[in-house]
Chain A
């Protein structure tokens, strides 16, 4: 169990200085592995609370073993011996240049050297548990844990790119199936035989192992997680959703026509807004339709909206509200989502009264006038979105990056467990030896996609195998 944790202590923004903090019994060894002085010497940690000047190097990763020893950054390192530190444990602080990229690289080097990513609020929790924080602050500690955890949970569950969670889910299914088969056979050896099963397991393990390696490699380019706020544009047909999307991203992504119902499927695009990434989904218009293809599109639209972080509802202010609008308004009121309502076509004669619309909507919905066609009101929309996500202490992109690191660590653990299965197979061990590692991999994958293990194995055994007296 690696109990030494690390985190980026400063916000992930472009600033002068960044701090990466390490805490736990292995902190000193970890910094020794990656720090060299200007003359190439090891760090001298004899005395506590000293400042050391030198360089962070990239140590070779165990999994690939191919990286060269390269200098990442020029840094100042402060070492604090337990219990004289924030957490009460041996602690290292690395002061580096504050670029986002630089901090990420140093942080990753620390993880590769043996620390694990801190859980949400874990530094504070340790500080408290080690008696470094005053008793009166206990509640604040709990708030931090909960707030961070909620955000991390959200990030881990919803931000994984669709095909990645599908992929991991398929690994898990396969692992569970194989393990259940073995376990069922062990529990009921007279009814279920394991003859020849090693070969299937061999192939399955190989397949998952290779795919996991690829996932880990791709995560280094930040591809594991889609960073950003999932935004869905809703509106009845021809209200101007696609025009809005085109104005926002400045390219002709959506097909814009004057015939209602042109956008039959959902379209996605991502763009950056003052440091926040928006992933925008343009959906089919909501209206009662007999057209089968369009019906599916509408269902997708509402489903996408129910999973989004932000809903932008485009209402056509040049015509009266109709049943389709009511359906959207009902949906908005029934879901706990941040919502912006755009009264589009402000360049035409208004038919909808803003006050009336406001009285129909839940209180925190923001209503803005807009003309997507003339690109009027776009700046105000952008400012509203930015305010929405910077007010409250939501520092969304940080949490996503950190979550991504935790997920990567879980993937590496899964990989190692699979390697253990591999070597057990090679050593000709009997099947009962590797189910432990198979389940370990299963659990780690579950961590990546935010699923608990619970009674999965026992349930799988009972549902797939005919056991019993």
Chain B
């Protein structure tokens, strides 16, 4: 499409917020703004691709499940939407500690898209527009910084707004590569957005090129399921949303299947490796290490005889099956050959081929923790444009950008979740501080305080904030307060209930494989719960005073008591962390003028401009001595300000 000259007559419209893109980030951003009462226009290159899931057919998984629960606790939509549309649900890491339990649901993709679109279309204040945004309208101020005024579409229409949220996903100058063939389109042949990058550059936004990929989809009728292992869903289904109960989400579940690559598969890959654009140098974008293509895996782990491939349904509406673990950018003919080497796939037909995709994104260190650009007032960015990957990572950023744009419109301070309050905080802080060199995926090992940041307590951590923002209604908030009260009361009761040494208690303990109490001794019920072989539910048998409590309350009581020592230790670490986080750095600080900082530190600090001392310390290349020096200068500035 050619750009049309600007001089022509054109539409000019006004809104409070413009959201560019309607993927997972864009949907959450628009919903947050609309629900908080702001006139919001959300642009997409195709209305049919709203909330599209162009890659894996699932939501959640390790640490991503945490993000969805946190989003729900703040009043986002993804958790509710997947609860309505999943076709299989599974809790990962069930045998591990509660902090790493992770919920993952297979989505019916079509259903998910339809539900999210319906929600978006029927939310007050939101207008959906199919158009490509090609330009930002900004105004430069005397000090060199800018302020956003609106956006311009490819046809020249202008939408003026005081807040603009960029959620462009992988669409900026997108290029899909299949072996030797490539085309300039977004996922699924959707139109790429080829002009906006230039406008970003003109506004001094630094841009990078990343790459990711997706595996092939195979026609389900051509797969022999007898040759694979069936993977069923859980019997007890835990909903993502705190507003749902398990009985609300009970349903028949679809199965996934497990197969493996083998030596023959790897041989085919090795024979054709020179035809892979990743190895020939055809692809220049930086790819994610955590999601390697099958050719990457074969080259990098030559000793591994086989790789697991999970075969997942894309939904009830289709026969397409997603080959999880087989992302590739090899040419079509090689793809077919290698797929057919796997058990169950000897006659398989590919519906869509695997491809790699390259796209433009921004260096997210240009953003504040609120996701607003440091140098362009009113402009926000969320999702893959910030260098993240994954639907869930995108959604939570969209939500936070939407919340912060709205709070700013109300003249209120931004909502920043810190690293001790949620995975959302870890994700955003990493993105805006650490200069990620590849698409960023959430991982539980990135969360320092993960024993505190569990899925199960996301509401206790964040729903109050959601209420303050205005996305959680009073009823849900009062339910939260009740839950908190019940948890506290029950823990206190158990602390004060003593199990004496008697026949009944000891026979219970022996039966449960636990040491009986000694003559004349007594212990509190909390002590019993702490024993590895016991828990809150088991103790019920000897706990006569127990009232009936909701399952989510019982769960918290058990976790809080059982892991008390660990939780306390993490709370102490958080105390220390918060101290540094509270030391704010003035935004007008000139690092070049600060004597005693090392050159590398000056460069990094001037570019990233951390908001507080804690964040400054997390920048690679800033040493503890630099932080000491910085503290002294901050103190000096504070004193100077007092004396002036």
Is chain B found bound to chain A in the same assembly? yes
CB–CB A468/B443 < 8 A: no
B289 CB-CB contact with A under 8 Å:
yes
Rounded to whole angstroms, the CA-CA distance of A119 and B625 in the bound complex is 9
Q: Contact at B95–A187, with CB atoms within 8 Å?
A: no
Q: Are B446 and A146 in contact (CB under 8 A)?
A: no
B472 CB–A CB distance under 8 Å: no
Complex interface bits, A105-119 against B, C-beta within 8 A gives 1, otherwise 0: 000000000000001
- Considering the complex, which residues of chain B in the window 278-315 have a beta carbon less than 8 Å from any beta carbon of chain A? 289-292, 297, 300-301, 304, 307-308, 310
CB < 8 Å neighbour of B575 from A1, A149, A458: A1
Q: Are B596 and A436 in contact (CB under 8 A)?
A: no
* B86-111 contacts to A (CB < 8 Å): 92-93, 95-97, 99-100
Q: Which residues of B contact A46 (CB under 8 A)?
A: none
Query: What chain B residues lie within 8 Å of A435 (beta carbons)?
Result: 445
B310-348: CB near A (< 8 Å → 1, else 0) gives 100000000000001101000000000000000000000
A-side contacts of B63, CB under 8 Å: 187
Q: Looking across the interface, which residue of chain A has its beta carbon closest to that of B532?
A: A428
Pick out which of these stretches binds chain B: A50-58, A64-72, A121-129: A121-129
Q: Are B444 and A183 interface neighbours, CB within 8 A?
A: yes
Query: In the complex, A122 Cα to B627 Cα: how many Å?
Result: 12
The answer to whether A466 touches B628 (Cβ under 8 A) is no
| Interface check B207, CB cutoff 8 A | no
Contact pick for A432, options B96, B596, B633, CB 8 Å = B96
Question: What's the nearest-Cβ distance from chain B to residue A407, in Å?
Answer: 15
A282 to chain B, nearest CB (A): 35
Q: Mark A426-465, 1 if CB is under 8 A from B, else 0.
A: 0111111101100000000000000010110110011100
Known contacts A119-B628, A138-B633, A189-B92; A429/B97 CB under 8 A: yes
The reply to whether B632 and A145 form a contact with Cβ atoms under 8 Å apart is: yes
Interface pair A432/B100, CB less than 8 Å apart: yes
Q: Are B636 and A138 in contact (CB under 8 A)?
A: yes
Q: Which residues of B contact A120 (CB under 8 A)?
A: 625
Closest to A435 in B: B445
| Contact of A368 with B by CB under 8 A | no
A180-210 residues with Cβ-Cβ distance < 8 A to B are 183, 186-191
User: Which residues on the A side are within 8 Å of B632 (C-beta)?
Assistant: 125, 128-129, 138, 141-142, 145
Q: Which of A121, A427, A469 contacts B55 (CB 8 A)?
A: A469
Is A468 a contact partner of B451 (Cβ separation < 8 A)? no
CA of A466 to CA of B290, assembled, Å: 8
Asked if A268 is at the interface of the complex by the 8 Å CB criterion, the answer is no
Flag if B92 contacts A466 (CB, 8 Å).
no
Q: Mark A140-157, 1 if CB is under 8 A from B, else 0.
A: 011101100100010000
Residues of chain A lying within 8 A (CB to CB) of residue B292: 466-468
Residues in B with CB closer than 8 Å to A189 are 62, 92-93, 96
In the complex the two chains form, is A186's CB within 8 Å of B62's CB? Answer: yes
Q: Are A186 and B96 in contact (CB under 8 A)?
A: yes
Tell me, yes or no, whether A259 is within 8 Å of chain B by CB.
Answer: no
Tell whether B144 is near chain A: CB-to-CB under 8 Å: no
- Beyond A1-B572, A462-B290, is A454–B620 a contact (Cβ under 8 Å)? yes
Query: B96 near A135 (CB under 8 angstroms)?
Result: no
Determine which of B307, B576, B596, B625 lies in contact with A466 in the assembled complex, contact meaning CB atoms within 8 Å.
Answer: B307
Q: Which of A119, A142, A455 has the most CB of B within 10 A?
A: A142
Task: Tell me the chain B residues, 105-138 only, with Cβ under 8 Å from chain A.
Answer: none
Contact A188-B631, Cβ < 8 Å, known A139-B595, A462-B290: no
Number of A-B contacts (CB under 8 A): 131
Query: Which of A139, A149, A430, A467 is in CB contact (< 8 Å) with B290?
Result: A467
Contact check, B97 vs A466: say whether CB atoms are below 8 A apart: no
Asked if B325 contacts A469 (CB within 8 A), the reply is yes
Whether the pair B625, A145 counts as a contact (CB closer than 8 A) is yes
For B62, list chain A residues within 8 Å (CB). 186-189
Report if B541 contacts A (CB, 8 A): no
Separation of A466 and B297 alpha carbons in the complex (Å): 7
- For the complex formed, measure the closest distance between the CB of A105 and the CB atoms of chain B, giving whole angstroms: 28
Instruction: List, in ascending order, chain A residues with CB within 8 A of B640's CB.
Output: 135
A122 and B624 alpha carbons, distance in the complex (Å): 12
Chain A positions within 8 Å of B93 at CB level: 186, 189, 432
**8 Å CB interface, A148-178 against B:** 149, 153
B519 at interface by CB-CB < 8 Å = no
| Closest residue of B by beta carbon distance from A128 | B632
Q: Indicate if B566 sits at the interface (CB-CB under 8 A).
A: yes
Known: A431-B96, A469-B325. A146 touches B444 (CB 8 A): no
Residues of B within 8 A of A436 (CB): 450-451, 566, 570
- Determine which of A1, A427, A461 lies in contact with B445 in the assembled complex, contact meaning CB atoms within 8 Å: A461
Least CB distance from B255 to A in Å reads: 14
Interface residues of B in 215-269 (CB under 8 A from A): 215
Residue B635 lies at the interface, judged by CB distance under 8 Å to chain A: yes
Contact B97 A458 (CB under 8 A): no
- The residue in chain A whose Cβ has the minimal distance to the Cβ of B94 is A189
Whether B629 is near chain A, meaning CB under 8 Å from some CB there, is yes
Q: Which of B437-494 contact A (CB under 8 A)?
A: 443-446, 450-451
A463 to B633, CA, bound (A): 40
Taking A187-B444, A430-B95, A466-B297 as contacts, is the C-beta distance between A135 and B631 under 8 angstroms?
Answer: no
Interface pair A1/B635, CB less than 8 Å apart:
no
Q: How far is the CA of A145 from the CA of B625 in the complex (A)?
A: 7
Cα distance A433–B289 when bound, in Å?
26
A468 in contact with B596 (CB, 8 Å)? no
Report the Cα distance A457→B443, complex, angstroms.
Answer: 11
Residues of B within 8 A of A468 (CB): 290-292, 297, 325, 327
Can you list, as one digit per residue, whether each of A1-33 has a CB less than 8 Å from chain B (1) or not (0)? 100000000000000000000000000000000
User: CB-CB < 8 A to B304: which residues of A?
Assistant: 466
B56 at the interface (CB under 8 A from A): yes
Within 8 Å of chain A (Cβ to Cβ): is B511?
no
Interface assignment of B410: CB less than 8 Å from any CB of chain A:
no
Question: Within 8 Å CB of A142, what residues of B?
Answer: 595-596, 629, 632-633
Which of A135, A138, A141, A187 makes the CB contact (< 8 A) with B443?
Answer: A187
Contact assessment for A125 and B100 in the assembled complex, using a CB-CB cutoff below 8 Å = no
Question: Is the Cβ of A145 less than 8 Å from the Cβ of B629?
Answer: yes
- Please state if A190 and B92 are interface contacts (CB–CB under 8 Å): yes
Q: Which residues of B contact A191 (CB under 8 A)?
A: 308, 325
A146/B95 in contact, CB under 8 A: no
Chain B neighbourhood of A431, CB < 8 A: 96
Given A186-B93, A433-B97: A458 and B291 interface contact (C-beta under 8 Å) = no
Candidates A179, A190, A452, A458; contact of B308 at CB < 8 Å: A190
B10 lies within 8 A of chain A by Cβ: no
1/0 contact string of B588-604 vs chain A (CB within 8 Å): 00000001100000000
Q: How far is the CA of A432 from the CA of B93 in the complex (A)?
A: 10
Q: B residues within 8 A CB of A131?
A: 639
Q: Which of A190, A458, A463 has the most CB of B within 10 A?
A: A190
User: Does B629 lie within 8 Å of A119, measured CB to CB?
Assistant: no
Asked if residues A135 and B327 are in contact (CB atoms below 8 Å), the reply is no
CB proximity to B under 8 Å, residues A402-433: 427-433
> CA–CA, A131 to B635, complex, Å?
9
Given A428-B532, A432-B96, A467-B290, A187–B327 Cβ distance below 8 Å? no
Closest to A428 in B: B532
**A93–chain B nearest beta-carbon distance, Å:** 23
Residue of A nearest to B99 (CB): A432
- Distance A435 CA – B55 CA, assembled complex (angstroms): 31
In the complex, how many angstroms separate the beta carbon of A224 from the nearest chain B beta carbon? 21
A435 to chain B minimum Cβ distance, whole angstroms, is: 7
The answer for the CA separation of A128 and B636 in the assembled complex, in Å, is: 9
Chain A proximity of B435: nearest CB distance (Å) = 10
Apart from A142-B595, A146-B629: 6 A-B pairs, beta carbons within 8 A: A122-B628, A190-B92, A427-B532, A454-B620, A461-B443, A463-B289
Considering the complex of A and B, which 6 residue pairs feature the smallest CB-CB distances, nearest first? Answer: A142-B596, A462-B289, A183-B445, A149-B625, A468-B291, A430-B96
Question: 5 A-B pairs, CB-CB below 8 angstroms?
Answer: A427-B532, A468-B291, A468-B325, A468-B327, A469-B327
